[in-house]
Amino acid sequence: MKLKQVRKQRIAYTPIDRPAQLRALASPLRQELLDVLESIGPCGIAELATPLGRAADALYFHIRLLQKVGLVVEVEQRRVGRHTITIYDVPGRPLRIDRAKARPTDLQAVVAGILRLAMRDHRRGLTDPATITTGKARNHWGGRARGWLDAGQLATANDLLERLVALLRSGRPGPGRKPIALSWVLASTPPRRRAPQQKQP
């Protein structure tokens, strides 16, 4: 799906709005786990562990915690040979934090987790032989931009971010496809307040 093909209209989403859910997502691993599960669809823990590059045993605790707060659901029991495995999924797509209901302290913890995860992604990308840092095939990039926007320009910036997120979330594993992660912070940056100068005696 190309960026221009993504609809501009507001997409219905499954809200993440309970304090316990936001606290659960302060963990970068649980954020990554939820991202992958949302992308690949219903699967067992062993299938989920592979794209995460982690041992399946290390995920059970996190899956149970996400189940407890309603961010992961059990959809079926599947027979595989002599074993029965549990298939998990997210409660709806796309998942999105309802920032109007979230407490600032919980949001801050989630964003801190996002930035830790972004640094891990960046670091892993630097050691990947498949990393490309220039041109249209670039898959590794970090940067910062700052400017002064009016209301119309800010609306455009938000629209572009929404469309980019929709494009990334539409991607599924398959031949010729590589996992790509995007993290960002869009924030107003009012001038820092200067500390009051102490009067000289």
Read off the pLDDT of residues 38-59 as tens digits, 9 standing for 90 and up. 999 999 999 999 999 999 999 9
- Cα–Cα distance for residue pair 18/59, rounded to 1 Å: 22
Task: Quick: pLDDT tens for 85-142.
Answer: 999 999 999 899 999 999 999 999 999 999 999 999 999 999 999 999 999 999 999 9
Burial class (CB in 10 A: 0-12, 13-18, 19+), 32: buried
Q: What is the DSSP letter of 101?
A: T
CA distance 138 to 115: 21
Q: pTM for this one?
A: 0.83
Written as one letter, the residue type at 51 is P
Domains of the chain with CATH codes: 3-169 (1.10.10.10)
Question: Are the CB atoms for 168 and 39 separated by under 8 Å?
Answer: no
Beta bridge partners of 86: 77
Using DSSP, state whether 50 is helix, strand or coil. helix
